[in-house]
Structure 1
Amino acid sequence: MGEPQAGEPTWWKALENLEIEHEKIEDNELMSTWNGSSQGDGVPKYGWRIALSHKFREKRTPWTVPKIHQVPALVGLSYRYIKFHRKLKRINRRPCMDFFNQQPLRQIYGVPLGGIGGGSINRGWQGEFCRWQLRPGVYEFVTTLANQFIVCIRKNGTTVYQQVLSVHSTPAKHLKSWKWEFPGSQAFYHALYPRAWTVYEIPEHKVVLTCRQVSPVIPNEYKDSSIPAAVFSWSIENKSESDLEVSIVMTMENGNGTKKSRLHHSGHFNEEFDDDKKCSGVVMHNFTYEKMPYTMTVAASDKPEMKVSKCISFDPTSDGSTIWNELHEHGHFDSTNDISENTSRGESIACAVAVETTVKSKTLQKNVDFVLSWDMPIVYFGSKEISHRRRYTRFFGASGNAGPKIALYALQNYQDWEEKIRSWQEPILSNSRLPLWYKSAIFNELYYISDGGTIWLEIDKTDTESISISNHINKHNASKETDVDHLQNSEILKEFGRFAYLEGQEYRMFNTYDVHFYASIALAALWPKLELSLQYDIATSILRADDTRFRFIMDGHRKPVKTTGVVPHDVGDPEDEPWTRVNAYFVHDTASWKDLNPKFVLQVFRDYHITKNRKFLEDMWPVCLTVMEMSMKHDKDGDGLIENGGTADQTFDGWSVTGPSAYCGGLWIAALRCTIEAANILDRQEDSLKYKEILERATKAYDKKLWNGEYFNYDSNKHSNHSDSIMADQCAGQWYLLAAGIADVIPGDKILSCLRKVYNFNVELFADGRRGAVNGMRPNGKVDQSSVQSDEVWTGVTYAVAATMLHKGMLKEGFKTAQGMYKSVWEETGMAFQTPEAILKHNHYRSLAYMRPLSIWGMQYALENTDNDDIASE
C-alpha cells in the first residue's frame, strides 16, 4: 500500500501487508429492512448501524445447566450456594453474583448517556430509556414508556403530522392516545460511542429528522468527562416545496418508572427554569433513593429563531390526551405554572419540553438542541455508613441544585466535546487499511467505561471520613501502616479522585482485579490518571487484612476475608461499603490464587511504561516486593516457578489446574522480568540480581515442564485429562511484556508457535472460525469440555489474544480472531452494548455487560506501540 502519507500516524505502516477481506458498507444485514434513502445529517460512515425494524434471528439464554460429566464437581458448590443465597434472602440481601436471577437477553441496548462516574442511563437503539444506574453500582432494568421524542409538523398553522418517534406498539393503557408505531423500516440507528445518531424519514411530507446524541467521554479529559449529561441535537431537513413549522418535543418521567419509584415514595415535584434566554426547561426533583435525593433536568437551547415551551407536569399513567391534544392544536405548550404539586404515594409526574421552528422549503435546519442532565451529588453505598461526593461536584458543587447549571454547560460546550471526540477517533476511522467492523468495535466496546456501574468520587482534605473509617476498621491488621497512609493520601487520588467500575452488571463487585488485568489497557491508554488512582487503592488494600472469617462456597472452608500481602479480588460490593470491606467474592478464598499478585506487578510496570510516572513506580515498589515475596511461597520445589494447587485458583475459577501451568507460570515469569526492569530503573541492584537469578531458574523450569514442541501445556499434571490442552490465553504474561516493550524472556519463535497453535485450533477449528477463541482445545481438535469454562469463549480473552497476535506481527490472524468475536456478539446474537463475559458455541451466554472486553484497546495499543521493523521481520 506504500508509505504512509503526510500527516498519517506512524503506526499505519504496521498495516501495510495486512491482507484482509474488507467488507462493504452496504453489506450490513442489520440494515436489510431499511427502506429509506437518506443517510441523515452528519452520520459517519463507520460504526454499528441497524434499522429500527431489524429482528435478531438468534435468541440466547443464560447458561444454567452443566454437562452431565461436569455435574459431580459442582454438587458441593451448588449446595453451599443455595444455603448462602437463602441466608442472604432472609436478611433482605442478595449475593453479588445472583445465579437464580440472571438477566435475560434484551436485544435493545444502545449508546449510554452521560460521562464517567456520575451515573448512567442507557438509551436503546429503538429509542428506549431502558437501563438505569443512578444509585451507585446498582442497575434497574426498566424501560420508561413516557420518555420519548415527538414530532409535530404544521403547514400554514394546521397540524398535518404528529408522531411519537418510537416503533413501540400502542400501549393498552398508559399514553394510548399518542400516535405510536413509527415505521421501523423508515428509521435507522448508528452508534459510534460516545455518540449516536437516529435518522427518521417521513416520506409523506418529505422530511428527514436526524437526532445526534452526544455524551462527554473524552480521553485525557478529567473535568468534562465526569459530567452527568447528554445532548440531543436535532437536524430537520425539509425537502418539500412548502415551508413547514416543525416542533420537536422531549418528554421525561420524574424517576425511572419502577414500582419502587411510583408506589413507595412521594413528594416528587417539577419546576421550570429559564437562564437568561440561553437555556430553558424543567427540573424534576426525586426522592426515591434513601438519603440520595436527585434531580433530572430536561432543557433546550433558547435561540431567536426557535420557540421553547414547556409542560411542567403531566400524568404518565394517564392516556396522555391532554398534552397530546395541546401540542396538536398549537404546536407548542402554553403552561402557566412554574412548579407542580408534590406527588402522593402511587402518583407519577412527567414533563415535556418543546422546540418549535420554521424550516424553509428545500433547507436543512440544524442544532435544535435538547439536554438531559441528572444531579445526585452525594451518594451512599448499600451500608449507608459513609457519604461520598461524586467527581463532578468539584466543578458544579454538591448542593443538589446544579441540574440547570450542568444542562447549560452541556449545551454551550457539546460542540467542543465533539471536536475533541472527532480528533481522537479520526486517525482510526480514516485508516482505509483497517476493517470496518474494527472501527465500530474499538469505540463501541468502550461503552463500559461509563455504563459499567462506574463511580468516580472526590477525595480531598475536606473529605476524610471514608479514609478514617477504613483505617479504624483495618488498622490493627495493617502491614506497614505508614505506607498505607502514604498511598491513600497520594497526590493522584487527591487530584483525580477515586475510580471504580463493576466486574459486570450482573457480577456486582468493584474493580475485580483479575479481570481488570484485561480491561485496564483502556484506562491506561485513554485515562491514565484514573488507572493510576485505581492502582493506589489496590496497593493500599494489599497492605491491609480483614480477619473476619467467611465460609467460601467452593470448598466450604472458613478463611479470613482478606490476607495481608495479597492482592484483593475486588474492592467490594456497592450494596455494602466498597474500599472499607473488600473481597465481596464468595466462591474461592482468593488469597491462594496464583495470578493476582503477578498481575499487580505486571500492571504497575505497564502503567509506568505508558505514563513514565516515576513517582508512581517508586510508591508501588515496596508493594510489588511484598506481593512477589508472598507469591514465592507457591514455589514448592524451589525451581523458581510457582505452582497451582489443584483447584481453580486463578481467573478461570471453574477450570482446575495442578502444578506449574502455562497461564499462571507465564504470568509469574513476566512479573519477574518486570520486577527486574523496575529495580534497574530505581537503581535497586541487589533486588535486580535476586530476581534475575530466580527468573533464570523459572524460565528453565517453565520450558522443561510445559513446552511440548508446539505450545505450553495447560498444566503439568500428567494424570489429568486436560493437562495438554491448548489454552487460548497461555501467552497472557507475554502480552504484558510486549506491551511494555520487553521481548527477551521466552524466545519469540516459541511465542509465535503458541499463537499459531491457538489460532489454528482454538479459533479456526471452533464454530468455523466465527466465534472467537474458545478457552480450551484438545490436541485432537475437539473442544476441551473438562470444565464449565474450558468450553466457553471469553470475549475479553479473545480480544487480548488478538492483541498479542498483533504485537507479534500476526495481523491477519489477530484481526480475524477478534472479528469472529465482535460479529457474533454484536451482529448475530444482538448483545450490543452488553458484551458478555462468555458465550458458548450454541444457545447460551454468561454474565451480560462485562468488564473484560475492554481489552480490545490492547489491539489498538499494539498497533500504535509495536516497532514496525519488528513486525516486518516476523
Structure 2
Amino acid sequence: MQFSTLMMNIPNCTWQRPIGLGWDKPYTVRTASNLDDGPWHGMPLGGFGAGCIGRSSRGDFNVWQVDGGEHIFQPMPACQFSVFESVSERSASRQAYALCTEAPEDGLQNWQWYPSRGEQHAHTGTYHALYPRSWFVYEGVFQSQLTCEQFSPIWANNYQESSYPVGVFVWTAHNPTNAPITLSIMLSWQNMTGWFTNASKSSEVKIRDDGSPVYEYKSRWGESQGNFNRLVESEYVGCILGRDSGEDVEEGDGQWCIATAKQPGIEVFHHTRWNPVGTGEDIWKSFAESGTLPNLQDETPAIEGEQIAGAIAIRFTLQPGETRTIPFVLTWDFPVTEFAAGVKYYRRYTDFFDRTGKNAWAIARTALQAYQSWQSQIQAWQQPILDKTDLPDWFKMALFNELYDLTSGGTLWSAATERDPIGQFAILECIDYRWYESLDVRLYGSFALLILFPELEKAVMRAFARAIPASDNHRRLIGYYLTIGAEMPLAPRKVAGATPHDLGAPNEHVWEKTNYTAYQDCNLWKDLPSDFVLQVYRDYLLTGATDVEFLASCWEAIVQALNYLKTFDKDGDGIPENSGAPDQTFDDWKLQGVSAYCGGLWLAALEAAIAIGKILLNSVETLHVETLHVTSLQETIDTYQSWLSRSRPIYQEKLWNGQYYRLDSNSGSDVVMADQLCGQFYARLLKLPDIVPQECALSALKTIYDACFLKFHQGKFGAANGLKPNGSPENPNATHPLEIWTGINFGLAAFLLQMEMKAEALQLTETVVNQIYENGLQFRTPEAITSVGTFRASYYLRAMAIWAIYGVWFDF
C-alpha cells in the first residue's frame, strides 16, 4: 500500500500546515485586555455543550473549555500520544517520540519530542483539518507510515451523538519496507478531574478597560487531591481517571477515560499511576526501550500537591506491506454546568447516559463500538458538499472549519425538559464578550445552526421570545462612556418589551437573566427588535415553512418588540430614529436620525411580521392558542401595513443620494457603510417585497465593493465597515469603521451573490478567508482584523455567516 493510499480518505480541501511549523508574523491582539493565546490552535474535540479540548498542529492538547462558557489555554505535555518503532534486524533504527514538537519548559525531561521541520528533517508531516475531522500525517521520521484521524461524532441533524463528550483517534499504520516493523502507540493522560469549576463564587461584575463587563473566573487548575486512576477491561481496555464525589454531583465532579480495543496480534500495556510533572522516566524508560509499559495498577489517591496520570499502550508487528488500524478514544463525564452559585443544569448528553458522573467508561465503550459508523455518517454529511465542483476548495475548507465555534464557542446544551424537549442551546458571542447568543451578531452567525441543526436554532429563538416581556430594573453603569473619558451613566438592565441583546452570562443564569452586556444600554438599540422578527420568520421559512406552532410561540413577543421599537419614532415619520449614541451592532459608531442600517432592518421586519401575521390568521382555528384571535391579528397586520407604507418612501427620500444610501439622515456623513442594506438582503432572502428599488441596491453594492474593499489597501484584507467613496477614512482614528469584520464581510458576500455578483462575492470571501487561515487565526476566528495585522475578539460567533453564502448559493 502506497502512502498516498493511506491518505485517500483525507479530502483535498483541508486546512493544511506542516507539523510544528510556526508563524513568522501572526496577527496579534488589538486591545491588550482581549484574549490572545497565540496562533497554535487546531480543530477542537468534543460534542456541543459537553466541553471541548483543542489540539494544535504541533501536536499538543492546549485548549480546555470543559467548564461551560470558560476558556483555558494551557499545553499539557503529559496529555499526549507517543510512538515507539523498531525495525527488525536494524537495531540502530529503534526510536520513540512523544508526538508534540514543543518540549515543555520543565518536567518530562526524559521524553524525546517529535522533530519539526528544520530539526535535521526537511519535512516531518502535515496536519489537516476539516471540522469535525482532522489528521496528523507523520512523514520522514519513522520507517513506517502513520496517520492519525481524530474526530467527534458531529453531523447535521444529529441531536444525540453530537452532544457526546468524546474524541476518537483512528490510527492507520503501514509498513512500506521489506522487513518487519514493531510499533507501539501510547496515549497518556493527566488526571484533571475537579479542575474545571469556578473556585470564585463572587457575583461581582466589573467594567474592563474596553468598557465590557467582566467577572472573576478562577478554576481549580492543579487541585488533584483525592484523584485516582483505575484500569478497566472487557473486550476493550482503558484507564478511568476520576475522584470519588458525594451523592450529589457538583460542577467539576466526574471522570476522564482513555481506552482502546483489544485485537488479535496486539499486546496491550498500562500504567495507572505515574508522575506527569516529574522527569517522565517512570513510563518513558520502558516505552522507549521496547514499546511497553510496566503494567502497574495503583489506585492510591493523590495527596495534596501531588499530580497523577495514567497511560495505555498497544504494541504490534507489521509485516512488509501490512496495514493495521487502531482506535483510541478519550472521553469525559462532567454532567453538571453551574452558572451562579446553586444555578445548575445537566448537559444534553446526560439524556443518553445517567447523571452520576461515572459514565466515562460507558461513553468510551460506546465510542469504540460505534466509531466506524460515526465516521461513515460524518462522511455522508460532508461528501455532497465536497463533491460540488463549482465550490472552490478554499471555500469548502472554510465552510466546514468555521463550524469549530459550535464546539468551542463556550457552547451550552442542556438536558431535555418537558418545555424544551431537546434542551436549551447557546453559544457565546466570543470569549472576550462572554455572554450568550448576542442577537445582533447571530443575525449573521446563526445561518450554520439554522442549516445544520434547525431545532437548536429554534430553541434559541424561543428563549428570546420568552425574555422579551420580562423586566429587570436593576440599574448599572454603561461602560462605553469609560472608553471616551466621560462619566458613566446608569441604566436599567432590561425594560419590559425591549428585545434583549443576549441570553446572559455563565456567572449568572443563562436563558433566564438576559441582557448581560453593559457596554451600551441595549434597551435603546434600534436593530435588536427587527433582528428578532427577521430571524423568527427566517427560521420558519427556511426549515420547510410548516412549523406554525413555532411562529405562534413567538407572536406575542414579536408584537411587543415592534411596538417598543416604534416608540423611538420621535417625529412620527414611521421609522425609529437612531439617537446619536452607538445604539446598534456597530456599538462604537454613532448614527443619527434615520439610518440605512437600522431603518432597512425595520422595513424588512415589518414585512416579515405582516407575513407571519397572515400565516397565523390562516391557521388560528387549528392552533388552539388562547392569545391568538382573528380580530387582533388582523388589526396588528393592518397597523404594521400602515407603518410600512409610511416608512418606505421616507427611507428612500432621506437616505438615497443617487449612488448609495447615506449612513444616516442627520450626521451629514458621506461614509459608504458596507452593511447599509442588510435589511434589503434579508427581505430578498425571505422572498419579501424589496425595501429599495433593485437598481438602487445594485448601485449601492457596486459602490461598497469599490470603496470599502478594492480601495482599502488595494483589496488585500477585506471590506472595511465604512469609508468615503474614494476609499479614505472619514476619521483616521475611528475604530469600527476601519475594521474588517469577518462576519459582516461574509454577510456582504452573501448579498453580492444574491444580486448575481458572484465573482465579487468570491473575491471578497477568499480574501478574508486567507487572512484568517494564513495568519494564525484558524480555529479562533476574530470579529475584526485590521490592516496593521491586529485582531479583536477571537472565537467570534458572527463568522459562521459563511454559511449564509452557501445557503444563498444553493437557494437553501
**Correspondence 1:846 to 2:795:** no
Among 631, 635, 646, which residue is 2:565 paired with?
A: 631
Q: CA deviation at 1:351?
A: 1.2
Where does the alignment leave 5 or more consecutive residues of structure 1 unmatched?
1-35, 65-99, 462-488, 867-874
Alpha-carbon displacement from aligned partner over 1:578-628 (angstroms, at most 9, x marks no partner):
233222212111100001011000000000102221100111111101111
**Correspondence 1:359 to 2:292:** no
- Please say if residues 115 and 216 of structure 1, whose CA atoms lie closer than 8 Å, have aligned partners that are also in contact: yes
**Correspondence 1:314 to 2:314:** no
CA distance in structure 2 between the aligned counterparts of 1:594 and 1:510, rounded to whole angstroms: 20
- Please say if residues 565 and 630 of structure 1, whose CA atoms lie closer than 8 Å, have aligned partners that are also in contact: yes
SS in 2 for 1:639: coil
Aligned to 1:294: 254
Aligned to 1:194: 132
Alignment of 1:405-444 (within 5 A): 405-444=362-401
CA distance in structure 1 between the aligned counterparts of 2:162 and 2:37, rounded to whole angstroms: 29
Aligned to 2:110: 177
- Deviation larger for 353-362 or 646-655: 353-362
SS in 2 for 1:58: coil
Alpha-carbon displacement from aligned partner over 1:75-112 (angstroms, at most 9, x marks no partner):
xxxxxxxxxxxxxxxxxxxxxxxxx6322251110110
Residues 163 and 753 (structure 1 numbering): CA distance in 2 closer, same or farther, change over 3 Å? farther
**Correspondence 1:116 to 2:42:** no
**Correspondence 1:402 to 2:359:** yes
- Deviation larger for 648-657 or 552-561: 552-561
The TM-score with structure 1 as length reference comes to 0.83
Residues 703 and 754 (structure 1 numbering): CA distance in 2 closer, same or farther, change over 3 Å? same
Aligned to 1:272: 231
Alpha-carbon displacement from aligned partner over 1:764-783 (angstroms, at most 9, x marks no partner):
11122121211001123213
Aligned to 1:129: 61
**Correspondence 1:47 to 2:14:** yes
SS in 2 for 1:667: helix
Q: CA deviation at 1:698?
A: 0.8
Aligned to 1:598: 530
Alpha-carbon displacement from aligned partner over 1:714-736 (angstroms, at most 9, x marks no partner):
111244xxx22111111212222
Q: CA deviation at 1:803?
A: 0.9
Q: CA deviation at 1:540?
A: 0.9
- Please say if residues 61 and 105 of structure 1, whose CA atoms lie closer than 8 Å, have aligned partners that are also in contact: no
Aligned to 1:797: 744
Aligned to 1:657: 591
SS in 1 for 2:49: coil
- Please say if residues 514 and 595 of structure 1, whose CA atoms lie closer than 8 Å, have aligned partners that are also in contact: yes
Among 359, 371, 384, which residue is 2:329 paired with?
A: 371
Among 254, 264, 269, which residue is 1:304 paired with?
A: 264
Alpha-carbon displacement from aligned partner over 1:345-366 (angstroms, at most 9, x marks no partner):
2211111111222212022222
CA distance in structure 1 between the aligned counterparts of 2:410 and 2:243, rounded to whole angstroms: 20
- Please say if residues 251 and 335 of structure 2, whose CA atoms lie closer than 8 Å, have aligned partners that are also in contact: no
- Please say if residues 265 and 345 of structure 1, whose CA atoms lie closer than 8 Å, have aligned partners that are also in contact: yes
Q: CA deviation at 1:39?
A: 7.1
- Please say if residues 68 and 506 of structure 2, whose CA atoms lie closer than 8 Å, have aligned partners that are also in contact: yes
Among 519, 522, 526, which residue is 2:448 paired with?
A: 522
Q: CA deviation at 1:260?
A: 6.0
Aligned to 1:689: 638
Q: CA deviation at 1:164?
A: 2.4
CA distance in structure 2 between the aligned counterparts of 1:559 and 1:500, rounded to whole angstroms: 26
Which letter maps to 1:230?
G
Aligned to 2:213: none
SS in 2 for 1:865: coil
- Deviation larger for 622-631 or 178-187: 178-187
CA distance in structure 1 between the aligned counterparts of 2:10 and 2:373, rounded to whole angstroms: 18
Aligned to 2:620: none
Among 161, 166, 169, which residue is 1:232 paired with?
A: 169
Which letter maps to 2:477?
R
- Please say if residues 153 and 159 of structure 1, whose CA atoms lie closer than 8 Å, have aligned partners that are also in contact: no
CA distance in structure 2 between the aligned counterparts of 1:148 and 1:63, rounded to whole angstroms: 33
Q: CA deviation at 1:429?
A: 1.4
Aligned to 2:650: 701
- Please say if residues 27 and 776 of structure 2, whose CA atoms lie closer than 8 Å, have aligned partners that are also in contact: no
- Please say if residues 332 and 360 of structure 2, whose CA atoms lie closer than 8 Å, have aligned partners that are also in contact: yes
SS in 2 for 1:126: coil
Alpha-carbon displacement from aligned partner over 1:762-821 (angstroms, at most 9, x marks no partner):
111112212121100112321343631111011110011111111221111111111111
- Please say if residues 35 and 431 of structure 2, whose CA atoms lie closer than 8 Å, have aligned partners that are also in contact: no
Q: CA deviation at 1:328?
A: 3.0
Percent identity over the alignment is 35
Aligned to 1:380: 338
CA distance in structure 2 between the aligned counterparts of 1:172 and 1:438, rounded to whole angstroms: 38
Alpha-carbon displacement from aligned partner over 1:294-325 (angstroms, at most 9, x marks no partner):
21110011222322221111101111112111
Where does the alignment leave 5 or more consecutive residues of structure 2 unmatched?
118-122, 197-217, 482-487, 618-632
Alpha-carbon displacement from aligned partner over 1:327-384 (angstroms, at most 9, x marks no partner):
23442223141x4211122211111111222212022222x00000110012212x22
- Please say if residues 533 and 558 of structure 2, whose CA atoms lie closer than 8 Å, have aligned partners that are also in contact: yes
The TM-score with structure 2 as length reference comes to 0.90
Q: CA deviation at 1:177?
A: 0.7
Question: Superposition RMSD on alpha carbons, in Å?
Answer: 2.1
CA distance in structure 1 between the aligned counterparts of 2:718 and 2:708, rounded to whole angstroms: 8
Aligned to 1:325: 285
- Please say if residues 262 and 345 of structure 1, whose CA atoms lie closer than 8 Å, have aligned partners that are also in contact: no
CA distance in structure 1 between the aligned counterparts of 2:685 and 2:92, rounded to whole angstroms: 61
CA distance in structure 1 between the aligned counterparts of 2:286 and 2:586, rounded to whole angstroms: 59
Which structure shows the higher helix fraction?
1
- Please say if residues 175 and 321 of structure 2, whose CA atoms lie closer than 8 Å, have aligned partners that are also in contact: yes
Which letter maps to 1:761?
A
- Please say if residues 671 and 725 of structure 2, whose CA atoms lie closer than 8 Å, have aligned partners that are also in contact: yes
Among 147, 166, 170, which residue is 2:99 paired with?
A: 166
Which letter maps to 1:379?
T
CA distance in structure 2 between the aligned counterparts of 1:359 and 1:181, rounded to whole angstroms: 22
CA distance in structure 2 between the aligned counterparts of 1:563 and 1:718, rounded to whole angstroms: 28
SS in 2 for 1:220: coil
SS in 1 for 2:145: strand
Alpha-carbon displacement from aligned partner over 1:428-461 (angstroms, at most 9, x marks no partner):
2122222221010100011000110001001425
Counting matched residue pairs gives: 755
**Correspondence 1:566 to 2:524:** no
CA distance in structure 2 between the aligned counterparts of 1:150 and 1:563, rounded to whole angstroms: 57
Residues 364 and 809 (structure 1 numbering): CA distance in 2 closer, same or farther, change over 3 Å? same
- Please say if residues 333 and 357 of structure 2, whose CA atoms lie closer than 8 Å, have aligned partners that are also in contact: yes
- Please say if residues 280 and 300 of structure 1, whose CA atoms lie closer than 8 Å, have aligned partners that are also in contact: yes
- Please say if residues 118 and 455 of structure 1, whose CA atoms lie closer than 8 Å, have aligned partners that are also in contact: yes
Which letter maps to 1:835?
T
CA distance in structure 2 between the aligned counterparts of 1:399 and 1:784, rounded to whole angstroms: 59
Alpha-carbon displacement from aligned partner over 1:107-141 (angstroms, at most 9, x marks no partner):
11011001111001111111111111111101111
- Please say if residues 262 and 346 of structure 1, whose CA atoms lie closer than 8 Å, have aligned partners that are also in contact: no
**Correspondence 1:680 to 2:617:** no
Alpha-carbon displacement from aligned partner over 1:446-505 (angstroms, at most 9, x marks no partner):
1000110001001425xxxxxxxxxxxxxxxxxxxxxxxxxxx3xxx2x11011111102
Alignment of 1:205-220 (within 5 A): 206-220=143-157
Aligned to 1:509: 435
Which letter maps to 1:545?
S
Alignment of 1:718-797 (within 5 A): 718-719=667-668, 723-785=669-731, 787-797=734-744
Aligned to 2:507: 575
SS in 2 for 1:693: helix
Q: CA deviation at 1:745?
A: 2.9
Which letter maps to 2:755?
K
Q: CA deviation at 1:181?
A: 3.7
CA distance in structure 1 between the aligned counterparts of 2:112 and 2:167, rounded to whole angstroms: 26
